[in-house]
Chains A and B, each alone.
Chain A
Amino acid sequence: MQNAINALLDSANQILLGKQKQIRLAVCCLLARGHLLIEDIPGVGKTTLAHTLARLFGLEYQRIQFTSDILPADMIGSSVFDAKNQQFTFHPGPIFSQMVLGDEINRATPKAQSALLEAMEEHQVTVDGKTYPLPEPFFVIATQNPSHQIGTFPLPESQLDRFLMRIELGYPDSAAERLLLTGRSRHSLIDDLAVALPPAQLQRIQKEVLQVYASNALLDYCQAIIRFTRESPSYPAGLSPRAGLALLTAAKAWAYMDGRDAVIPEDIQAVLAAVAGHRIRAGHLDAAAVVAPILSQVAV
């Protein structure tokens, strides 16, 4: 199974150059059944990443471009009167898809945002009193511009919490940049990609991830981190119990990708910035700087 994952990572790295760590985190997030938030300026490959992952996992892919005038119904779908049958029929919206890319989610109004986030949490939508389950697996990658840009509605903390991870892509390094400039267009490359890990396998992996073992010593370390965030004066709020659970699950997925059946502290440390950065964000520091004191001060 690890071979399949490694092949998948290799393929993705061919498309997004020089982003191994981010791609690995994104895959980890997917294996841990979490949703992903990518935050960066436009044009660094957020959409490409989402599209690539959808391709490699063989997932049904839909993209929703959020604008300030988007309505919940535009995503979820609506009931339309069918003159032939003389009744309303539900026309599912783009959210009924295994992988949904919510582009520039912070351009949408809070109402639209919350409709998406509700669907992410419940794995189902309710229209006109009728509940429609979302497909399995269901994975949302949302992108957002840095919130200080004009015309954005930053996501509140409670909604940020719904994303297992938040990552930043950043500019490519100069070698990668050169390859981008000289190579084929990314779109055509994506079209050529073959499925590396079909959905049935993904679901099996997702189940196996939960079986990864966490020893008492590891849980001690995990709790020490949580306690540190709660007690340290440099964080406005500590990690919630849900955040702690997310941290452990993400670490399990990370260990699984590494081919281990037990979590080690390095797994926690690897995912900590992505999992905890947006939950305890202090000021405008980037995630790595936010968690740096945790990594250096909490004893392993």
Chain B
Amino acid sequence: MKTAAPNQKLQFLLLGTVGLAVLPHYPHLPPLTFGFFAALLGWRLLGVRHPAWLPERRVLFLLLLLGIALLFTERQGIFGRDAGTNLFITALGLKLMEMKRERDSCLIVYMAFVAAATQFLYEQGILFGAYIGLVCCLLLTLLIAMNGLQHPIAQALKLAVIFVLQAAPLAAAMFILFPRLDPPKWLAIGSETRNRTGLSEMLEPGSITNLGLSDELVFRARFDGPLPPPHQRYWRGPVMAATDGKRWVQAQNFERYPKSNPQVSGRPYRYTLLLEPQEKNWVFALDMPAEFSPPLSRNANFQMITSELHGQRAAYKLTSYPDYNTGPLSSAEYRDAIQLPGTPSARVKELVARLHGYDAAPELFIKSLLNHFRRENFRYTLEPPKLDANPIESFLFDTRAGFCSHYASAFVYLMRAAQIPARVVTGYQGGETNEVGNFIQVRQADAHAWAEVWLDRRGWVRYDPTAAVAPERIEYPLDVSRLSPGETIYFESASGEFGKIVSLLKQAGLIWDTVDYGWQRWIINYNGTHQANFLAGFGIKGSRAMLNWLGAILIAATVMLSLAILYRRRRKLDPALRIYVRFCGKLARKGLVKGTGEGAKDFAERVKAALPEHAGEVDGITGIFMNLRYGKRPDPKDIEQLKRRVAAFKP
């Protein structure tokens, strides 16, 4: 065992790979922890060339204390995913400073494997998996290179890739067959705080930008009858009535509004909602949900709430009516619905006046406002310019570019400026229809914000100002694959004007979606239930049967591999020898085993002494074999002769 640390090139490679293994933690780790680790890694990198710069023992001890203090300030405890990852990464960083001997380097490689594995606690995408696979190949390369044998790095890398490829079938078998235990609920407790993309309880024009690009599935709705037309596909989420001019939140006391039962009419939609695991207890129902059963309930904002939240997919049966009247407004509701942060500025008042906000019926004002959006060069984009202190006014008068929350919030603001009760509703709009399964799939990209205005005798009425600017946003699903930052959004109906490249890109995007969907469906979602269902299709039921099958497959694979290797070696044998080996096999059963270094002639002598009655056959066979193998002019026809004689030979 060498005691010296690996050479400089290896050290650089090791530290670089450790960096690569930890790098994807950047979004999840607290900045201080990540910074601490990055600083230690940088220090260690410098230390490769200048070992004198590395900290001595006392400094190392201080670093340790600093690391512990940092962990303490994060206040995450020591249980759960985030706390564990923090602790581990901090420890890895500190261990880097202690890379004195080969043993330390090996330990660091192993720790880096674990660090790479922790990434999967946060992210399970297909590309991400490939990245981690690459990192693991590099780590394996390091292990090979460090364990002597003086492999050049490239050769060690090749060997590592071969190892990984050889291990892949085994891993696949284990993946499919090893019984999956659904994690106990307490294990998930520490991870409750993880930041999932999704609608939040706060709307800040801009906060939905990221959401708009996420392809993550939120729910599926399977309809008993025909699907609702696109302009009716508004899936209601939290309702934002309170604002400080920049952000919108739910009204503080909306729970205490008197609950009213809206009058519903028209043709109902009956559907089953398949909700992906959620963090909030929100259930996104089509407007207006009227028939539902526990655990669902409808709050005063007509939003559906579930009382059960267990981090798993849930199914709810609902009936919604597209036509409804919510009835009169309570005084608390009215107050919240016309609340403004301060008094509107002069140019806002001027705009409201110009659009007849003060002197005409609310319907007319709404119509002229929507016309204003349509005509005055407003455009829809997912990457709007940054808005300053007064986002609504900047949007209305300067930038005129934004997405749903900009339009919804500006619309509501102007309504309130005209003393008309209005509020912002968030949720999802549209969704991808699947005619085969008669269901609608809604993804995070379909997140939307629209407005509701309370009108006399009609109650809360939905207006979507975004539709005025970009009607396609409502009529067609958002074409996420064609988005590029800062660009004006185009929708599927607008294709064709971009020519072939765009449609090719779109095609590629669709294929990628399919691949990714398969990955999510078959790999990531392969949990205990799926496994049981999948394997039951092959007649494998129960975890014991799974383990038995796994064992059987492993044994079968080993045997087949061994046979393949043996067969390959035998195929290289010259045919005469192959037949002769059969002859030796027959004799071995009689206890006459040919020695490794024993020539055929010597062996024949020994056999003849032991089995004098077969002397003639043995001599014949040995003679033909030796002539075939060593003779000056072997006769190929003798092969058949040899084969026949060996077949006939029965000692």
Task: Tell me if chain B binds chain A.
Answer: yes
Return B339 CB to nearest CB of chain A, in Å.
Answer: 91
The answer to the question of B258 belonging to the interface, with a C-beta cut-off of 8 Å to chain A, is no
**CA gap between A101 and B596 in the complex, in Å:** 40
Q: Which residues on A sit within 8 Å (CB–CB) of B601?
A: 264, 266
Residue of A nearest to B631 (CB): A262
**A179 interface residue per 8 A CB criterion:** no
Interface presence of A263 (CB below 8 A): yes
Docked Cα-Cα span, A264 to B596, in Å, equals 15
Contacts of A262 in B (CB 8 A): 630-632
B597, A261: Cβ atoms closer than 8 Å: no
* Residues in B whose Cβ lies below 8 Å from that of A296: 595-597
On chain B, the residues within 8 Å of A214 by CB distance are 630
User: Which residues does chain A contribute within 8 Å of B631, judged by CB atoms?
Assistant: 213, 215, 262
On whether the beta carbons of A215 and B630 are closer than 8 Å, the reply is yes
- Interface residue A298 (Cβ < 8 Å from any Cβ of B): yes
B602 interface hit (Cβ, 8 Å) = yes
Instruction: Kindly state whether residue A202 has any CB partner on chain B within 8 Å.
Output: no
Question: What does the 1/0 interface line of A260-300 toward B look like (CB < 8 Å)?
Answer: 01111110010000000000000000000000001111111
How far apart are the CA atoms of A215 and B626 in the complex, in Å? 10
- Given contacts A217-B574, A264-B626, is CB(A269)–CB(B632) below 8 Å? no
Cβ distance B632 to chain A, nearest Cβ, rounded Å: 4
Inter-chain contact A217/B630, CB cutoff 8 Å:
yes
Dominant secondary structure at the B interface: loop
Interfacial chain B residues near A266, Cβ < 8 Å: 599, 601-602
Tell me if A210 counts as interface (CB < 8 A to partner B). no
Partner of B599 from the list A215, A261, A269, A297 (CB cut-off 8 Å) is: A269
Are the C-beta atoms of B630 and A297 separated by less than 8 Å?
no
Nearest CB in chain A to that of B576: its residue: A217
The listed residue (B574, B596, B600, B629) touching A297 by CB distance below 8 A is B596
- Residue tally, chain B, CB below 8 Å to A: 16
| A298 close to B596 (CB less than 8 A) | yes
Q: Is A17 in the interface zone, CB < 8 Å from B?
A: no
B613 at the interface (CB under 8 A from A): no
Q: With contacts defined as CB atoms under 8 Å apart, how many contacts are there between chain A and chain B in the complex?
A: 50
Q: How far is the CA of A139 from the CA of B626 in the complex (A)?
A: 33
Q: Which of B574, B598, B632 contacts A300, CB < 8 Å?
A: B598
Check if A218 is an interface residue, CB within 8 A of chain B: yes
Q: Which of B630-647 contact A (CB under 8 A)?
A: 630-632, 634
**Distance (whole angstroms) from the CB of A266 to the closest CB of chain B:** 4
- The complex places the Cα of A297 from the Cα of B598 at a distance, in Å, of 9
Complex alpha-carbon distance, A261 and B631, angstroms: 8
Given known pairs A217-B629, A262-B630, A264-B630, the reply for A298 and B597 (CB within 8 Å) is yes
Instruction: Give 1 or 0 for each of B599-614: 1 = CB within 8 Å of chain A CB.
Output: 1111000000000000
Q: How far is the CA of A262 from the CA of B577 in the complex (A)?
A: 17
25 contacts between A and B (CB under 8 A): A213-B630, A213-B631, A214-B630, A215-B630, A215-B631, A217-B574, A217-B630, A218-B629, A218-B630, A261-B632, A262-B630, A262-B631, A264-B626, A264-B630, A265-B600, A265-B630, A269-B597, A295-B597, A296-B597, A297-B597, A298-B597, A299-B596, A300-B596, A300-B597, A300-B600
- 8 tightest CB-CB pairs across the interface, nearest first? A213-B632, A265-B599, A266-B599, A215-B630, A217-B629, A296-B597, A295-B597, A266-B601
- A265-B600, A266-B602, A298-B597 given; name 20 further pairs at CB < 8 Å: A214-B630, A215-B629, A215-B630, A217-B574, A217-B577, A217-B629, A217-B630, A218-B629, A218-B630, A262-B630, A262-B632, A264-B599, A264-B600, A294-B597, A295-B597, A296-B595, A296-B597, A297-B596, A297-B597, A300-B599
